[in-house]
Amino acid sequence: MRLRTLLLCWLGLYCFLGIASAQPPVIIDKPILWNDYREELMTEYARAHYGMDITRITPRAVVVHWTAGPTWESAFWTFYHEAMSDGTLNVASHFIVDRDGTIYRLTEETALNRHIIGYNWCAIGIENVGGVGGAEDLTEAELAANVELIHYLRQKYPTIEYVFGHYQQDIARESGLYLEKVADYYAFKTDPGAYFMGRLRTALVAEGLKFWPE
């Protein structure tokens, strides 16, 4: 009898955990400006940098960033308009995670967004609010939200194999995913810091995702 009770408890806990982990994270849609002009600029960017005629991606990687700004709104408004001052596609990320772990979705998950040179053709971007002045100050709530969000994306897009920080853009070339047609087009990056990526790796590596050592 005692064994039966124990088994039932175990089964109950297992189901509870199974259901809990299957729950998608709460995501708040907060779309940036999206129109034919943005699609046109996306097409131009994809042709110039990747030699591809695409505006949507098949996700192969998730790239983690920090905003280097104090609020999610400051990042949102940076990404909001279609074009940069030079008339090319504006930078944008698919998600922003606020310091309290709130997840905002800015575009379609498979939109081609400009957030990391060489990988935009296949990478979903997550921006985390913080990193002002290069400080490795992302919060526990941001870490938990990134774990949930990446888990959700991996379940939804089994084509996702890699997770790396923006600062790992060079070593991530080992994936074979790096592609850039414009010579000497490069920007040095430190976001989102090795400490944050190390903890993400510990939390997610069991899911079969590939990380690089921090």
Residues near Zn ion (CB under 5 A) are: 65, 166, 191
Nearest 5°: the CA angle 125, 128, 132 is 125
**CB 189 → Zn ion: shortest distance, Å?**
5
Tokens at 35, concatenated: 């129109």
**CB 18 → Zn ion: shortest distance, Å?**
34
DSSP string for residues in 170-194: TGGGGGT-----STT------TT-H
Nearest-CA neighbor of 61 among 152, 172, 145, 167?
Answer: 172
Q: What is the helix (H) or strand (E) element at residue 162, kind and residue range?
A: strand 162-165
**CB 3 → Zn ion: shortest distance, Å?**
54
Q: Which residue has the tokens 């379609």?
A: 108
Sign of CA dihedral 106, 88, 172, 213: negative
149 contacts 48 by C-beta, under 8 angstroms = no
Between 17 and 170, CB nearer to Zn ion: 170
Tokens at 75, concatenated: 């990042």
89 contacts 44 by C-beta, under 8 angstroms = yes
**CB 131 → Zn ion: shortest distance, Å?**
9
Between 47 and 173, CB nearer to Zn ion: 173
**CB 69 → Zn ion: shortest distance, Å?**
12
